[in-house]
Structure 1
Amino acid sequence: MHLRNSLLAIAGAVTALLPLANTAKAEDAKKKIVFVAGRPSHGPGEHEHRAGSMLLADQLNKSGLPVQATVVDNGWPQDTSVFNGASAIVIYSDGGGGHPAFKHLDELKAFAKAGVGIGCIHYAVEIPKGEAGNTFLDLVGGYFETDWSVNPHWNASYTLPKHAVTRGISNFSMLDEWYYHMRFRDKMAGVTPILTALPGPETLTRKDGPHEGNPEVRAAVTERKEPQHTMWVYERPDSVGKGRSFGFTGGHFHKNWQNDDFRRVVLNAIVWTTGLEVPAKGVPSKTPTDAEMQANLDPKGKK
Structure 2
Amino acid sequence: MHTLFSLPVFGVLLLGCLSATLAPDQPGASTSTPPPSPAQKRVVFIAGKCSHGPGEHEHKAGCILLAKRLRENVPGIVTEVFTEGWPTRSEALDQAAAVVVYGDGGEGHMINQHLEKVNTLMKKGVGLVCIHYAVEVPKGTPGNYFMDWIGGYFETFWSVNPVWTAEYKTIPSHVITRGVKPFTLNDEWYYHMRFQPGMQGVTPLLTTVPPASTLNRKDGPHEGNPAVRAEISEGKPQHMAWCRERPDGGRGFGITGGHFHRVWADDNMRKLVLNAITWVAKAEVPREGVSSSTPSNDEMGENRCPH
TM-score relative to the length of structure 1: 0.88
Identity of aligned residues (%): 53
State the one-letter code of the partner of 1:251.
G
Mapped pair 1:171 → 2:182: yes
Q: What SS does the corresponding residue of 1:91 show, helix, strand or coil? A: strand
SS in 2 for 1:137: helix
**Pair 1:82 & 2:87 matched:** no
* Alignment equivalent of 1:72, drawn from 82, 90, 93: 82
**RMSD over aligned Cα, in angstroms?**
1.2
Contact kept in structure 2, 1:39 and 1:75, CA below 8 Å: yes
Structure 1 equivalent of residue 294 of structure 2? 287
1:264 aligns with 2:264: no
Deviates more, 1:254-263 or 1:61-70: 61-70
Aligned equivalents of 1:25 and 1:156: distance in 2? Answer: 40
CA distance in 2, matches of 1:149, 1:25: 39
Distance in 2, Cα, partners of 1:25 & 1:32: 8
Deviation (angstroms), 1:75: 1.3
Mapped to 1, the partners of 2:66 and 2:99 lie a distance apart of 13
Report if aligned partners of 1:64, 1:284 keep a CA contact under 8 Å in 2. Answer: no
Write out per-residue CA displacement over residues 135-194 of structure 1, whole angstroms, 9 at most, x where no aligned residue: 111111100000000000010011200000010111000000000000000000000000
Q: Say which one has the larger Rg.
A: 1
Partner Cα distance (1:26, 1:183) in 2: 35
Could you report, residue by residue, the CA deviation over 1:214-260 in whole angstroms, capped at 9, with x for unpaired residues? 000000111x210000000000113xxx2100001000010110010
SS at match of 1:80: coil
For 1:162, the aligned partner's letter is S
- Compare 63-72 and 110-119 and name the one that shifted more: 63-72
Q: Quick one: structure 1 residues 28 and 290, their matched pair in 2 at CA, closer, same or farther if it must change by over 3 Å?
A: farther
Q: What secondary structure sits across from 2:243 in the alignment?
A: strand
Decide which of 86, 90, 108 is 2:118's aligned counterpart: 108
Assess if the C-alpha contact under 8 Å between 2:130 and 2:254 holds in 1. yes
Q: 1:117 maps to which residue? A: 127
Any stretches of 5+ residues in structure 2 without a counterpart? Answer: 1-33
Matches within 5 A, 1:69-218: 69-158=79-168, 159-218=170-229
Q: In 2, Cα distance between the equivalents of 1:25 and 1:217?
A: 46
Instruction: Give the length in aligned residue pairs.
Output: 273
Tell me the distance in 1 between the aligned counterparts of 2:84 and 2:283: 28
Matched residue, 1:48: 58
Q: CA deviation at 1:133?
A: 0.6
CA deviations over 1:185-213 (Å, ceiling 9, x no partner): 00000000000010001000000000000
Other structure's SS at 1:46 match = coil
Return closer, same or farther for 1:130/1:289 CA change in 2, 3 Å cut-off. same
- Of 274, 279, 282, the match for 2:281: 274
Is the partner of 1:216 in helix, strand or coil?
Answer: helix
Offset of residue 269 of structure 1: 0.2
Q: How far did residue 27 of structure 1 move?
A: 4.2
Matches of 1:237 and 1:229, distance apart in 2 = 22
Aligned amino acid, residue 150 of structure 1: V
Q: Report if aligned partners of 2:36, 2:78 keep a CA contact under 8 Å in 1.
A: no
- 8 Å contact 1:155–1:174 — kept in the other structure? yes
Matched residue type, 1:191: V
Residue aligning to 1:16: none
- Alignment of 1:243 onto 2:250: yes
Matched AA of 1:297? R
Report which of the two has the higher share of helix: 1
- Residues 49-90 of structure 1, C-alpha deviations (whole Å, 9 max, x = no match): 000000000000111421011110221111131211100000
